[in-house]
Chain A
């Protein structure tokens, strides 16, 4: 996987203290090998994980399933079948909608919470310590918790709904309800993630531009729009990238809350792959879903990381 070293010198050491190079206590060759020796276990681990992944990619060209343990090579048939099926496009649509909706809500809410906490009021200081609690609860446990919370028998949501006059509260039984509550639960868990990163950005801001803006009589919204937001954007963008990637492959929250139902209303690509490959042991079909999702995730990631680099460079240039 890795070839011979090009620049074997220890970067910082040789740069700062050239004389050290002249008086080697160890042979040059051994010194050149040093970083490779240190990373060998990590490389082996990566290979160990990449092997199943590559094997998985190869399965997508076979008709491998539990009922067909000696699979035939079928070329791109799996892809052709899946790309022409309505179920796949439904899953792709649900995946995309869920990821966009959840990420958008978490971002807006997270920035809002960070702004409020940054005012450092007494109430804010008390709340800040509790902020990350939902983030530390396992997502699957959070989903179970919300499932109980929404349950008419024991939960608190239906009596609240009744008291404000919503008589026909159905929780996650309706397709729209299932999708909306999935977004709510995801938001409940991960808004603190965006908030703490945005807060770190806010607390790193220099004071003087804001004093200048205040002297010029700039209002709150103008200051936020033209000054605060652009300045914390490099931070927020990191949070957005993490959230979007995670939400594209979110499994625990949706599976725990709705198991993909009702019908296929919340069946994302990971859930349909789970049902195909694990529940029905149709490995090739499930994997084809995953390879397509993987491609989508990495395409999105590459675009976003490129954008992040531009934003960071611009921020550094200011």
Chain B
């Protein structure tokens, strides 16, 4: 399935790399196959090096989150793992903790933001994909600009407005501002999914006597359901992972788990193993959800610009 020139390099080449005994009469094709084997093992080593860089910090944080107070500053890998940190952070046997509240706040604001974006975004994406009307490009690029605008340019005036309206540190305020994150994603990606469907689909439905509304709900919507599911998960991940909006526009009531994770580091006596347990739990939901949308990730992250 590989299409580049390196494809002929044999993955099992690592064994040949070590032999330095030259044959008496090196035939050209043999020499070139040896070189390919060498290149192959070099490639494997580079790849392994990259993934060590990529995964070791994750192994580190997992290990730290499982260490007792005594172990955390004295050992690296040899220690007796304990779930005590997780219990402490979650306040198990202690009637819950503020961490649980922040976790739930993340859940409520992210789900809320995705639902609002879907309700507003699906019709808009459909219109942008199927109709030509004045302002459609303007609308799409305005939404795209939200994705690229420096957040503080909106946050600073918004914090003043929120204080006046009483939306500061509320769930409604957070869901509203997270639209900046989720809405461009939903409209741009779903538009590309709608565009993939042939227009004959609705034509056939209309000829069968469906109204446009019925045609949409009964033929188009079921076909883009995988797209909607993927976009919802991706938008949820982005909303959950957002930091700057809850950091600047909430204080305690609607504070999310990303913000509280940083706050954990701020005290006088920081317990690093507790911070680690908090970080691991906060990072987990997006990692798990991402497994379900691997197929759509390229398209989603590039706003539909690249389809794989």
Contact = CB atoms under 8 A, between A and B. Distances in A.
Q: Do A and B come from one complex?
A: yes
Interface of A: 1-13, 16-17, 20, 25-26, 34-36, 38-39, 41-43, 45-46, 48-50, 52-53, 55-56, 59, 109, 112-113, 115-124, 127, 129-142, 144-149, 151, 153-156, 159, 188, 191-193, 196-197, 199-207, 210, 213-214, 218, 220, 223-224, 228, 235, 238-239, 242, 245, 248-249, 251-252, 256, 269-270, 273-274, 277-278, 283, 286-287, 290-291, 293-294, 297-298, 301
Nearest to A12: B199
B258 interface: yes
A153 B302 contact: no
Q: Which 4 A-B pairs have the closest CB atoms?
A: A12-B199, A138-B241, A42-B124, A121-B11
Contacts of A53: 149, 153-154, 157
Nearest to B234: A136
Given A138-B283, A153-B73, A286 B152 contact: yes
Given A139-B241, A153-B73, A11 B131 contact: yes
A60 B69 CA distance: 50
Contacts of B207: 20
A41 B124 contact: yes
10 contacts: A11-B130, A35-B133, A42-B183, A115-B6, A119-B2, A220-B5, A251-B151, A269-B150, A273-B150, A277-B152
B306 A277 contact: no
B23 interface: no
Interface string B106-126: 000000000000011101101
Contact of B152 (A1, A117, A137, A273): A273
Contact of A56 (B56, B153, B297): B153
B156 A273 contact: yes
A228 B308 CA distance: 17
B243 A130 contact: no
Chain A at the B interface: SS class: helix
Contacts of A287: 153, 156-157
Contacts of A277: 152, 156
Nearest to A245: B148
Contacts, number: 329
A256 B262 CA distance: 7
B157 A56 contact: yes
Contacts of A142: 57
Interface of B: 1-7, 9, 11, 39-40, 43-44, 46-48, 50-51, 53-58, 60-61, 64, 72-73, 76, 119-121, 123-124, 126-128, 130-136, 138-139, 142-143, 145-146, 148-161, 176, 179-180, 183, 187, 199-200, 202-203, 206-207, 211-212, 237, 240-244, 248, 258, 261-262, 265, 272-273, 275-276, 279, 282-283, 286-287, 290, 294, 297-298, 301-302, 305-308
A307 to B, nearest CB: 14
Given A115-B4, A141-B258, A238-B302, 4 more contacts: A35-B131, A148-B276, A249-B148, A274-B152
Contacts of A154: 64, 72-73, 272-273
